[in-house]
Structure 1
Amino acid sequence: MSPRPGRGRPRLLPGKIAANPRDQILAAAAELFVSRGYAGTTTREIAEGAGLRQASIYYHFGSKEEILAVLLERSVQDRVEQAGKVEAGMGSVTPDVGLYALAVSDMSALVAMPYNIGMLYRLPDVIASPVYDRYGHLRGDLVDRYGRVAQRAAEERVSASTGEPGLGELLVQMVESVVSLRRDDRVGSSTVATIAAACLRLCGVAEDAIEQAREAALSALARA
């Protein structure tokens, strides 16, 4: 068993040379929420994981719920912005290419998130939290963007809403399946390609068009 970090010991965030106390708290909370659950994690444990005194938590955050709200926002905000860029650039690529690029870039973002915080929204105790609604509207924006991009790829083949849930929600759920696969170390380039292709199939795109979209989308993402 690894030794517990001592008080005041700095904990680094991925990709950072050093972390300020606020980021240390968020990193420790993210790791604990995903591994133990939100309800099963105490602020004392978060403080110990961050190498800080428990009182330091309340200097930076008013409550454990506030920490969760920040993490939920971080888990989706960049994805919404990326989806917006793809949607805005649809005039320069075919809809098939745009949807494939959106799915691949979104999965890449989910896989790269530290401590797999994309998993948070799936946890029942997180969904039951009063702060979940502060995150839900952001994910709703993401679903809407997926729906608009997908409808252009689908043309008249698939309706914008295939019952409940709608097309955008179905696609987001497919893409977000990587957070579960990531826990089992089963996310590679072939998995990403399989899910992205499935997104296009759901929109009725033909197999030969899917392969063309894959090549064009990967080339576009490489240039971005």
Structure 2
Amino acid sequence: MAQIPPRPGRGRPRLLPGKIAANPRDQILAASAELFVGRGYAGTTTREIAEGAGLRQASIYYHFGSKEEILADLLERSVRDRVTQAEKVETEMEQHAPEVGLCALAVSDMSALVAMPYNIGMLDRLPDVIASPAYARFSHLRADLVAAYTRSGLRAAGEQVATGAREPGLGELLLPMVESVISLRREDRIETATVSTIASACLRLCGVEEELIGQAHESAQSALATH
């Protein structure tokens, strides 16, 4: 079974896994992430961000031109590292069976989402964020992520999935399944088997035979552990 990484603690703000917010810019981003996810983008003021970061409100505008710029930075950070990781996993899984590659991609991506501080993967699901001009600025990164799932999904599907389901839109079906851990995490419904269950569902969507799914999990876990 895939192991769920522990969530970041509630001590000093952390912007990204393993990265302590040790400078004003990162303190602003960390405070904004917690506030945007907790009370919404539109419902958060720069004064509240400054208070959360332990800074004067004027300091916000020294590092960012607007609240929208803060949001754009956070949206990019919530996806950019996932895209880099997806590309790395794809390359490393080339020597494995296609279903192992897709399983490894899904497991590694979900583990990253579960570990994100303040559950910032939630940002691009908030209506006021989607309505913001900043949302369009990160759409190309999300498209890259969809493309990675499309490639891995089509390789895993082979000839077992009907032609209509093998169009590039397959990645747009797989990615939301993986990102369902974002909502589950917000509702405190993440359990030890959650990642494995969702990864299995991704393989089933691509028509992977049931007897191969367990083997794919074992091989994916082993391969990820060595990289």
Aligned with 1:91: secondary structure? coil
Q: For structure 1, which runs of at least 5 residues remain unmatched after alignment?
A: 1-9
The superposition leaves residues 151-199 of structure 1 with CA deviations (integer Å, 9 ceiling, x where unpaired) of 0000022257639992101110000000100012221330100000000
| Contact 1:151-1:159 within 8 A present in 2 as well | no
Question: Structure 2: how far apart are the matches of 1:16 and 1:149?
Answer: 30
Select 1:44's aligned residue among 26, 43, 47. Answer: 47
| Contact 2:13-2:20 within 8 A present in 1 as well | yes
1:27 maps to what in 2?
30
Number of equivalences: 215
1:63 maps to what in 2?
66
The alpha carbon displacement at 1:222 in A equals 1.0
Question: Structure 2: how far apart are the matches of 1:145 and 1:167?
Answer: 10
The alpha carbon displacement at 1:13 in A equals 2.2
Amino acid corresponding to residue 13 of structure 1 in structure 2? R
Aligned with 2:133: secondary structure? coil
| Contact 1:161-1:167 within 8 A present in 2 as well | no
Q: Percent same amino acid among aligned pairs?
A: 74
1:87-106 matched pairs, under 5 angstroms:
87-106=90-109
2:110 maps to what in 1?
107
1:113-152 matched pairs, under 5 angstroms:
113-152=116-155
1:220 maps to what in 2?
223
The alpha carbon displacement at 1:74 in A equals 0.5
> Aligned-pair RMSD on alpha carbons?
1.9
Select 2:210's aligned residue among 197, 207, 210. Answer: 207
Amino acid corresponding to residue 212 of structure 1 in structure 2? Q
Question: Structure 1: how far apart are the matches of 2:220 and 2:138?
Answer: 29
| Contact 2:107-2:199 within 8 A present in 1 as well | yes
Bigger RCO (CA 8 Å, 6+ sep):
2
Higher mean Cα deviation, 177-186 or 104-113?
177-186
> TM-score by structure 1 length?
0.91
Aligned with 2:14: secondary structure? coil
| Contact 2:129-2:135 within 8 A present in 1 as well | yes
2:81 maps to what in 1?
78
2:14 maps to what in 1?
13
Question: Structure 1: how far apart are the matches of 2:57 and 2:90?
Answer: 44
Cα gap change, 1:222 to 1:160, in 2 (>3 Å): farther
Question: Structure 2: how far apart are the matches of 1:94 and 1:39?
Answer: 46
| Contact 1:77-1:138 within 8 A present in 2 as well | yes
The superposition leaves residues 49-75 of structure 1 with CA deviations (integer Å, 9 ceiling, x where unpaired) of 101000000000000000000000000
2:159 maps to what in 1?
156
The alpha carbon displacement at 1:17 in A equals 5.5
Question: Structure 2: how far apart are the matches of 1:163 and 1:209?
Answer: 20
Higher mean Cα deviation, 156-165 or 197-206?
156-165
Question: Structure 2: how far apart are the matches of 1:164 and 1:126?
Answer: 29
| Contact 1:68-1:131 within 8 A present in 2 as well | yes
